[in-house]
Structure 1
Amino acid sequence: MNLELPIWHAPDGSVVSCTEKVKVMTENMEELAQMAQDAFEDAILMGCDEQQVRSFLVALMQRLENPYQG
């Protein structure tokens, strides 16, 4: 899977330019994408409905909680 990652921004709109932070974000997003792809393929091979699995993965991401908010 070839990911086109964005330029990461802080909440104030400034660019996250720290090389190490960008490297960690890249590694995390690549790992997440591969894990999601593997789970998606497994679901398809087990006979699950493709659209249902896609919808679940989207909903899963939308339910992520920010533990640092507040």
Structure 2
Amino acid sequence: MSACSNEARYAIWHRDDGSVVSCTEKVKVMNENLDEIAQLLQDALEDGILMEVSEAQMKDVLHKLVDALRNPYAGRE
């Protein structure tokens, strides 16, 4: 197996110029990060539901957290 292949478990990752990020280690890190995030989100949703918070409200708050993310590297080229 080559050092750069693409395991598209979540997405085929692209750079801003549209080229594919295909390095195995980079894709592996992205997938592992998303696995962890997915589990944290699921845990938070379940906790909220167990505490009688509306499922729809929990999902809305989680979406807002994602929407509020900012790129700390923007403009540092």
Structure 1 length-normalised TM:
0.93
Q: Which runs of 4+ in 1 moved over 6 A?
A: none
Residue 28 of structure 2: aligned partner: 23
Structure 2 length-normalised TM:
0.84
Structure 2 gap segments, 5+ residues each: 1-8
Structure 1 gap segments, 5+ residues each: none
Residue 45 of structure 1: aligned partner: 50
Q: CA RMSD in A?
A: 0.7
Q: State the distance in 2 between where 1:58 and 1:51 align.
A: 11
Greater C-alpha radius of gyration: 2
Q: State the distance in 1 between where 2:74 and 2:58 align.
A: 29
- Number of aligned residue pairs: give it: 67
The AA in structure 2 aligned to 1:48 is V
Q: How far does residue 7 in structure 1 lie from its aligned partner after superposition?
A: 0.4
Aligned residues with identical type, % of pairs: 58
